[in-house]
Amino acid sequence: MLEMLGVGTAAQAVYGAMQEHPDAGVDELAVLTGLDEEQVRAALDELVGLELLRRSRERSGAWVPVPMAVALPGLVRRQEEELAARERAVAAGRAAATRLIAQQVVQQVGPGPAGGRGAGATATTEHLVGADAVQDRLDQLVAGATTEVLSLVPGNAVPEDALRAAKAADTVTLGRGVICRIVYQDAIRNHPPTLAYGRWLAEQGAQVRITAVLPQRLLIADRRAAVVPIDPDKPWAGRVHTDDPGIVHQLVALFENVWAGAAPLEPARPLERGTGLTNVERSLLQLLAAGATDEVTARQLGISTRTVRRIMADLMARLDADSRFEAGIKAAKNGWL
């Protein structure tokens, strides 16, 4: 059982022998466990590192086993911290892959001249300029979808008139049996109408997830055509509609990468195991630690700069830090980064 808590087989054998023979030295422990002395010393080092041994108060320089009832909570906590660290590493890797795919797609598509096709653009790629042109093309793709619609929706709020219009179209689409998978940002919890709409979609049969950071806005229909911003940081630059198989394939990979790291939309904000942080708080700390400004952080998380500063002030209070620099140091020590 202790293997699940990070205690090796040799360390378990030595720990058990020390419980039964507390005065045994390395040579005797080797005989008792069937290990050689080098393996016993390595096991002792492991047990000390896991805080399963402590210095004896009666014999100078000697080690004695810590009762398992005392040591067990520490072992569990250590495993939780290691698991959280692995989850953060996976999330960071997924985010890096997502950004890379998004950058490659934007480079491949390239901005065409306003109002038409770009010079050198193929017949499968069209530059859309203006909100009406973009919305018309999105409506066409969704109306024509026969199997699946995939969407990434960054930001913390969708205008209520847009939600009303979308509800009618989504009712028809879902009623036709089209599979709809949508990822919103966690920040929609701050906008009740958008949050309610996400929950309504889930009730109608759509698959809805949320995540702290989204790379860009995206819609893919039947894995054959997609609409994507030319530059996610410059919405006024317009969007691109493409049915180029290579580009659409990369955009599907981008969506699936985000989807894998997102969580189902639930009533409560999920807290990260071992830290008590929400997804937004964790991402905010990571962005600020990477040198992002409040403005960039707000844009990435789909929240306002005022909200960024409010969350940061709350985190500083929880960390008992007088400055962001001190908060960063304490957050790292606490395993929050």
- Position of tokens 């419980």? 19
CA atoms of 16 and 29, how far apart (whole Å): 10
Sign of the torsion angle spanned by Cα atoms 230, 234, 237, 238: positive
Topology agreement, domain 87-264 and domain 271-333: no
- Give the residue among 328, 179, 150 at the shortest CA–CA distance from 248: 150
Tens digits of residue pLDDT in 144-182: 999 999 999 988 778 888 888 888 889 899 888 899 999
Q: How would residue 106 be classed by pLDDT, with cut points 50, 70 and 90?
A: low
Q: Is this prediction's pTM over 0.85? A: no
Q: How would residue 101 be classed by pLDDT, with cut points 50, 70 and 90?
A: low
pLDDT at 141: 93
Residue 104 has pLDDT above 90, yes or no: no
Q: Please state which of the four CATH numbers 3.30.870.10, 1.20.930.40, 3.30.360.10, 3.40.1390.20 is assigned to the domain occupying 87-264.
A: 3.30.870.10
Q: Which residues pair with 55 in a beta bridge?
A: 63
Residue 115 has pLDDT above 50, yes or no: no
Q: How would residue 113 be classed by pLDDT, with cut points 50, 70 and 90?
A: very low
CA 244 to chain centre: 29
Residue 112 has pLDDT above 50, yes or no: no
Tens digits of residue pLDDT in 313-333: 888 888 888 888 888 888 887
Residue 241 has pLDDT above 70, yes or no: yes
Residue 30 has pLDDT above 60, yes or no: yes
Q: Please state which of the four CATH numbers 1.10.10.10, 2.40.33.10, 3.40.50.300, 1.20.120.160 is assigned to the domain occupying 271-333.
A: 1.10.10.10
Q: Which of 132-136, 177-181, 332-336 has the lowest mean pLDDT?
A: 332-336
pLDDT at 261: 84
CA atoms of 70 and 137, how far apart (whole Å): 64
Q: How would residue 132 be classed by pLDDT, with cut points 50, 70 and 90?
A: confident
Contacts of 279 (CB under 8 A, 6+ apart): 186, 210, 211, 212, 263, 269, 270, 272
Alpha-helical (H) ranges within 26-152 are 26-33, 37-49, 68-109, 131-144
The letter for the amino acid at 11 is: A
Q: Which of 38-52, 119-133, 211-225, 273-287 has the lowest mean pLDDT?
A: 119-133
CATH of the domain spanning 2-66: 1.10.10.10
CA atoms of 242 and 225, how far apart (whole Å): 6
Residue 105 has pLDDT above 70, yes or no: no
End-to-end CA separation in angstroms for the chain = 30
Domain boundaries, the chain: 2-66, 87-264, 271-333
Mean per-residue pLDDT, 255-278: 73
Q: How would residue 252 be classed by pLDDT, with cut points 50, 70 and 90?
A: very high
E strands present in the chain: 53-55, 63-65, 125-128, 148-153, 179-185, 207-211, 218-221, 225-229, 239-242, 263-264
The rounded mean pLDDT for the chain is 81
Residue 38 has pLDDT above 60, yes or no: yes
pLDDT at 181: 94
CA atoms of 124 and 119, how far apart (whole Å): 13
User: 229: exposed, middle or buried (C-beta count within 10 Å: 0-12, 13-18, 19+)?
Assistant: buried
Tell me how many helices (H) and strands (E) the chain has.
12, 10
* Distances 299 to 281, 304, 309 between C-alpha atoms, Å: 14, 7, 13
Tens digits of residue pLDDT in 292-301: 888 888 877 8
pLDDT > 70: percent of the chain: 84
Tokens encoding 250: 């990369």
- Give the residue among 208, 101, 192, 105 at the shortest CA–CA distance from 153: 208
Higher-confidence residue of 15 and 304: namely 15
CB 329 within 8 A of CB 289: no
Residue 267 has pLDDT above 60, yes or no: no
Residues in the chain: 337
Higher-confidence residue of 67 and 143: namely 143
CA 257 to chain centre: 10
pLDDT at 66: 85
Tens digits of residue pLDDT in 59-75: 777 888 888 778 777 87
* Distances 85 to 48, 92, 259, 337 between C-alpha atoms, Å: 22, 10, 20, 9
Mean per-residue pLDDT, 247-260: 89
DSSP code per residue over 107-139: HHH-PPPTTSPPTT--TTEEEE-SHHHHHHHHH
3-state secondary structure of 31: helix
Residue 280 has pLDDT above 70, yes or no: yes
pLDDT at 135: 87
* Distances 196 to 139, 150, 193, 199 between C-alpha atoms, Å: 22, 19, 5, 5
